[in-house]
Amino acid sequence: MEHLDATTVISQIFTGTVSGMMLVLMALGLTLIFGVMNVVNFAHGALYMVGAYFFFFTLQKVGNFWVALILVPVLVGSVGLLIERILMRPLYVRPEEDPILMTFGLTYIFMEAMRMYFGKIGLAVDTPASLSSAVNLGLFYFPSYMIFAVVCAMLAIFGLWMFQEKTDVGLIVRAGSRDSVMVRVLGLDFNRVRLLSFSIGTALAGLAGALSAPIRGVIPEMGAPVLPQAFVVVVVGGKGSFWGTVASGLLVGIVTAVTSLWYPSWAEVVVYFLMAVVLLVRPMGLFGRE
C-alpha cells in the first residue's frame, strides 16, 4: 500500500469510471424493464454477452468498427423484441415467477449457443487505429478507447433521458412504469409499451457488451459477474431513479476499482458491503423515494 502514489490512485479512479459507465447502461436497462413489466430480467447479463459476440461477429463481416458499433444495439434490441413478443407476452397472465424463470433459462440457452458457434476459447476484439493510442492527461496516459467508451455511454444515457423526458412515447413509457392500469384506462396499447421498453433495455445491454468487448475480451461467461453488480447499482441508486442509477453505477465502479489496488481479493465483494450499508441507512436507496 505504501508504494501507491496519487497518480496511481487517480488512474484507477478513471478506470473505475469506465467500468461504472458500463454498469450504468446495464442498470438503466434493468430499471426500464422492471419498471414497466415488473419482471426481473435475469437474461440481462447474457444479452450483454450476446452484444459482445455480435460485435465481434459483425466486425469480422463488415470490417468497419463504427458500423459494427451502431448495428449491435439494433441487433440485440431486435432479439429483445422477439423475446418479449414470443416468450414473455404469453406469461403475463401467469404467476410472477414464470417470466423470471424463463429469463433465467434464457441465460443458459444464450451461453450454450455462443459456445457452440464461437467455441469456448475467449476472443479478442481490436480497437481501430484511431483509438489504439493513449491520451496524455497530465499526470498519466490513459487509453483513448476507454475515454471513447465513456463518451459513448454518456451519449446513450443522455439520449435515453431525452427520450423519456421530451418525447410523447417516452412519457407514455414513464407513465407505464408508474401506473400501468392508468395507461390502459386511457386507451393506450400497453403491450406496445412493454415491447418498446424491453427492446430498449436489451439494446442498452448490447451496447454495454459491445463497448466492453475490446477492454475485457469476449467469453461466454462474461455476463455472469456483471449482472449481480448491475442489480446492486439499481438497489443502491434507488428504484425508479434515473440519475440515482447513474450516480450509483459510477460509485460502484470507482469503489471496486480503488479497492482492487489495496485488497484485490475484496474487489468483487465490496459492492455488496456497500449495498448493505446503503440499505441500512436508506432502505429506498440513495435517490429513491418511499
pLDDT digits (tens, 9 = 90+) for 147-158: 999 999 999 999
> Which residue did the predictor score with more confidence, 184 or 281?
281
How far is C-alpha 25 from the geometric centre of its chain's CA atoms?
A: 4
Rg (CA), the chain: 19
Question: What is the arithmetic mean of pLDDT over 41-69?
Answer: 94
Total domain count, the chain: 1
Reported as type and span, the H/E element at residue 73 is helix 65-82
Do residues 240 and 35 lie in contact, with contact meaning Cβ atoms separated by under 8 Å?
yes
The answer to whether position 109 is within a domain reads yes
pLDDT digits (tens, 9 = 90+) for 118-155: 998 989 998 888 888 888 888 788 899 999 999 999 99
What is the residue whose three cell numbers read 476507454? 146
On whether residue 143 sits in a domain, the answer given is yes
Q: Is the pLDDT of residue 112 over 60?
A: yes
With CA atoms as reference, report the closest residue to 190 among 204, 201, 177, 203: 177
As given in the structure block, the three cell numbers for residue 147 are 475515454
115 lies in some domain: yes
Q: Which residues pair with 143 in a beta bridge?
A: 134
Evaluate if residue 194 carries a pLDDT over 90.
Answer: no
Q: How confident is the model at residue 181 (pLDDT cuts 50, 70, 90)?
A: low
Closest by CA to 165, choosing from 155, 153, 152, 174, is 174
Integer Cα distance of 175 and 183 in angstroms: 7
- Could you tell me which residues are beta bridge partners of residue 123? 218
Collect contacts of 133-138 with beta carbons under 8 A, ≥24 apart.
137/14
Q: With cut-offs at 50, 70 and 90, classify the pLDDT of residue 1.
A: very low
Answer whether residue 290 is part of any domain: no
pLDDT of residue 264: 83
Q: DSSP class of residue 285?
A: -
What grid cell was written down for 272? 455488496
Contacts of 121 (CB under 8 A, 6+ apart): none
Dist. CA 13–CA 260, nearest whole Å = 11
Residue 7 grid coordinates: 497518480
Alpha carbon distance 20, 14 (integer Å): 10
Which pLDDT does position 129 carry in this prediction?
86
Phi first, then psi, for residue 201 (nearest 5°) are -60, -45
Share of the chain above pLDDT 70, in %: 94
Q: Does residue 254 lie within any of the structural domains?
A: no
Q: Give 4's pLDDT tier (boundaries 50, 70, 90).
A: low
Is residue 58 one of the residues assigned to a domain? yes
Does 290 have pLDDT greater than 70? no
What is the tens place of the pLDDT at every residue in 15-25?
A: 999 999 999 99
Mean pLDDT, to the nearest integer, of 76-92?
92
| Confidence grade of residue 10 (pLDDT, cut at 50, 70, 90) | confident
Q: Which three cell numbers stand for residue 267?
A: 474487489
Contacts of 192 (CB under 8 A, 6+ apart): none
User: Is the pTM higher than 0.85?
Assistant: yes
pLDDT band, very low/low/confident/very high, at 226 (cuts 50, 70, 90): very high
The answer as to whether 267 is a domain residue is no
Our measurement of the distance from residue 224's CA atom to the centroid of its chain's CA atoms, rounded to an integer in Å, reads: 12
pLDDT above 80 (res 231): yes
pLDDT for 25 equals 96
- For residue 158, the tally of other CB atoms under 10 A from its CB is 10
pLDDT of residue 38: 79
Residue 260 domain-assigned (yes or no) = no
What residue has cell string 400501468?
180
Q: State the pLDDT at residue 179.
A: 64
Residue span of the structural domain in which 179 resides: 6-221
